[in-house]
Amino acid sequence: MKEKTKKITYAALGAVLLTIGSWITVPFAIPFTMQTFALFFVLGAFGGKIGGVSVFIHIALGLLGLPVFSGFQSGISALLSPTGGYVIGFALAGALYFAVNSILNKNRMLDIALPYICLGACYAFGTAWYMLFVSAEGQIGLVSALSVCVFPYVIPDIIKVTLARVTSEKLKRLI
């Protein structure tokens, strides 16, 4: 397969995996999804550039009306909601992953730590977004927001990121 065709195929496949991950949902204040696993699997297997493009394709498809977000949501209303910041946070995590890998190249410790740093960035942006939306209805403190947005998810997300790292490293050797 030609290199350009291969990259386009991987970017499309990454967008599909992100969509499927968002559809695997356990309802909660902020739904538990497999999208975190999908994001870090795609970034790990295909690299930051193709992974980042996959995230932007996924978001673009949702904005065009395809039900690619959690709970089969779509459109600008899905992003302009209290939990929409996490979708945007995924894009920021993908961009951060690409930027850091591009600047610092191959560093084993960085390869291990970077997905968790990106997850933290996603949490930070998503929680700030949530606070912005919820504060329109009344004040919410940081600890309250973290109790809703981060604390219930951090251990499952660390497990998902770890599994994504391990499986993407195995797949990367095959592709």
The pLDDT tens digits for 25-47 are 888 777 789 999 999 999 999 99
pLDDT at 18: 98
Domain range for 135: 3-174
Average pLDDT on 128-155 reads 90
Q: State the average pLDDT for the chain.
A: 92
* Alpha-carbon gap, residue 107 to 166, rounded angstroms: 16
* Alpha-carbon gap, residue 74 to 60, rounded angstroms: 10
Percent with pLDDT over 70 in the chain:
99
pLDDT over threshold 80, residue 1: no
pLDDT over threshold 80, residue 138: no
Number of domains forming the structure of the chain: 1
Between 70 and 107, whose confidence is greater?
Answer: 70
pLDDT at 111: 84
pLDDT at 105: 73
What CATH code is carried by the domain that includes residue 89?
1.10.1760.20
The pLDDT tens digits for 88-126 are 999 999 999 999 988 887 778 888 999 999 999 999 999
The pLDDT tens digits for 155-173 are 999 999 999 999 999 988 8
Do 130 and 83 contact (CB within 8 A), yes or no? yes
Percent with pLDDT over 90 in the chain:
77
pLDDT at 31: 75
Number of Cβ within a 10 Å radius of residue 48: 22
For tokens 């497990």, name the residue. Answer: 159
pLDDT at 101: 86
For residue 161, report the phi and psi dihedrals to the nearest 5 degrees. Answer: -65, -40
